[in-house]
C-alpha cells in the first residue's frame, strides 16, 4: 500500500463544533484512517507544541485549521501549522471569515476585557485585577498570550490553500474534500470546497421566492409557513447572499438562513449584498419608516443589523478591513 497521507487538525478561537463535525462523518472515519494517519489533533490526542515544532516543514499533507485568530498564541500556531503543512484548509466559518468571534470587532479590546473582568453583575473584582501577558511568581515568570485588538480570519494571518465553510462544515462537504484529497483531485489553490451557487438555488422554497417583502418580522413574531420563502413572510433569510452546500439544513427546520456558508460566488461582502437584495424587495409605505426616530419603523425593526447581516463575515467585511496582526 502506498504511504499514507498525514492529516492534522487544529483549533484556535472557536466553539469546538467543527471538531465534532469531523466525528459526524461516522463510520467514514474508518476510510480516513485507512488512507491517512492523523498526526495532530489536540482535542483527541496528547501532543505538545514542541512535537509539532520538531516535525519537518511540510510534514503534514493537509492541516484542517478551525477557529479565528484572536491572540498571539493562536497566531503563532497558525504560522506553525502553515510551515508544517503542504496544504492548509480554513475549516469552518471562523477560520474562513472570523465568524461569530469576529463580531467582537465591533467592540474595543479594553471594553471586552473590562466587561469580562469588571462590569458583569456577577463579577466581584475589588482590586480591578486584569490578565497580564507576564507575571512573576515564586517559581519564576508565567506568560499568557496577548489578547489582540481585533479578530482575524485565518487568511488575514497566513496563506491559506482551501476554504471549507459552514458552522460547522456540512458532513457531505467534509467527505467530498477528503475524497478529493485521497484521489488527488483538489481544485486549484484558493478554491472554496462547496458548490458555486447560492443557497436560494438549492432551496425548495425558491419556487415561491419573494418579489416583495411585507415589512420586517422577527422569527418569534409569526409561525412561519413552511412552504413559503422567508423573505416573502417578512423574515430576513440570508439565502440570496449565501453559498450553497448545507442542503438548506436551517430552512428544513423552518428557520431562516443566517449565512454560515459565507458569501456566494461573485459576492465579496455578504452583508452588503444582502442589504442590496433587501432594498430591492422591502416594501416601504412611508418615508418615515426609514427614520431612526420612528420606533415602529423599519430601521428599528432590524434589531441587530451587524449580527443579522454580518454574523459570520464581519472580520472580512468592507467596513471592517484588517490585515496581519
Ligand atoms: S431567501 Fe431563504 S427561504 Fe427564500 S428561497 Fe432563498 S434560501 Fe429559501
Ligand atoms: S441554512 Fe444558512 S445558516 Fe443554516 S447551515 Fe445553511 S448556510 Fe448555514
* 200 pocket-lining for ligand 2 (C-beta < 6 Å): no
Helix axes 28-35, 171-182, angle to 10 degrees: 30
Per-residue HEC secondary structure of 162-223 comes to EEECCCCCCHHHHHHHHHHHHCCCCCCCCCECCCCCEHHHHCHHHHHCCCCECCCCCHHHCC
Rounded distance between C-alpha atoms, residue 162 and residue 167, angstroms: 16
Whether 229 lines ligand 1, by a CB cut-off of 6 Å, is yes
Q: How far is the CA of 60 from the centre of ligand 2 (A)?
A: 31
Would you kindly state where each structural domain of the chain is located, as residue ranges?
Answer: 5-100+149-182, 111-147, 199-316
Q: What is the pTM of this model?
A: 0.92
Q: At residue 292, does pLDDT exceed 80? A: no
SS (HEC) of 272-323 = HHHHHHHHHHECCCCHHHHCCCCCCCHHHHCCCHHHHHCCCCHHHCCCCCCC
Ligand 2 centroid from CA 250, angstroms: 6
Q: Is 173 in the pocket of ligand 2 (CB under 6 A)?
A: no
Confidence of residue 29 (pLDDT cuts 50, 70, 90): confident
Helix (H) or strand (E) holding 6: strand 5-11
Q: Which ligand is nearest to the CA of 264?
A: 2
Q: Is the CB of 278 under 6 A from ligand 1?
A: no
* CA 301 to centroid of ligand 1, rounded, Å: 20
pLDDT tens digit sequence for 80-115: 999 999 999 999 999 999 999 999 999 999 999 999
DSSP 116: I
User: What would the mean pLDDT of 220-235 be, rounded to a whole number?
Assistant: 94
Give the span between the Cα atoms of 152 and 79, in whole angstroms: 13
- Say yes or no: CB of residue 308 within 6 Å of ligand 2: no
Asked if the 5-100+149-182 domain carries CATH number 3.40.50.700, the reply is yes
- 210 pLDDT above the threshold of 70: no
d(CA 186, CA 180): 5
Amino acid at each position: 500500500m502506498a504511504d499514507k497521507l498525514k492529516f492534522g487538525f487544529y483549533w484556535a478561537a472557536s466553539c469546538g463544533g467543527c471538531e465534532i463535525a469531523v466525528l459526524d462523518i461516522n463510520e467514514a472515519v474508518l476510510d480516513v484512517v485507512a488512507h491517512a494517519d492523523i498526526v495532530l489533533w489536540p482535542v483527541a490526542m496528547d501532543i505538545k507544541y514542541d512535537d509539532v515544532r520538531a516535525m519537518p516543514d511540510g510534514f503534514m499533507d493537509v492541516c484542517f485549521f478551525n477557529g479565528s485568530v484572536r491572540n498571539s498564541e493562536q497566531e503563532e500556531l497558525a504560522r506553525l501549522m502553515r510551515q508544517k503543512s503542504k496544504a492548509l484548509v480554513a475549516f469552518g466559518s471562523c477560520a474562513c471569515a472570523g465568524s461569530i468571534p469576529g463580531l467582537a470587532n465591533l467592540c474595543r479590546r479594553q471594553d471586552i476585557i473590562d466587561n469580562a473582568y469588571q462590569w458583569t453583575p456577577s463579577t466581584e473584582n475589588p482590586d480591578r485585577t486584569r490578565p497580564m501577558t507576564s507575571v512573576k511568581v515564586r517559581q519564576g515568570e508565567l506568560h499568557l498570550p496577548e489578547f489582540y485588538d481585533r479578530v482575524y480570519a485565518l487568511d488575514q494571518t497566513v496563506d491559506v490553500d482551501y476554504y471549507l465553510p459552514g458552522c460547522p462544515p456540512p458532513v457531505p462537504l467534509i467527505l467530498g474534500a477528503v475524497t478529493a484529497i485521497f484521489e488527488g483531485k483538489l481544485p486549484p489553490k484558493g478554491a472554496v470546497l462547496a458548490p458555486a451557487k447560492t443557497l436560494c438555488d438549492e432551496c425548495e422554497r425558491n419556487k415561491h421566492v419573494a418579489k416583495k417583502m411585507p415589512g420586517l418580522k422577527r422569527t418569534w413574531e409569526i409561525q412561519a409557513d413552511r412552504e413559503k420563502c422567508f423573505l416573502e413572510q417578512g423574515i430576513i433569510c440570508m439565502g440570496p447572499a449565501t453559498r450553497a452546500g448545507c442542503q438548506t439544513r436551517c430552512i428544513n427546520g423552518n428557520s431562516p438562513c443566517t449565512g454560515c456558508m459565507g458569501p456566494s460566488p461573485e459576492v465579496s461582502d455578504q452583508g452588503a449584498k444582502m442589504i442590496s437584495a433587501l432594498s430591492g424587495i422591502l416594501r416601504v409605505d412611508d418615508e418615515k419608516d426609514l427614520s431612526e426616530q420612528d420606533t415602529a419603523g423599519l430601521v428599528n425593526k432590524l434589531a441587530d443589523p451587524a449580527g443579522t447581516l454580518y454574523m459570520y463575515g464581519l472580520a472580512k467585511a468592507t467596513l471592517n478591513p484588517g490585515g496581519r496582526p
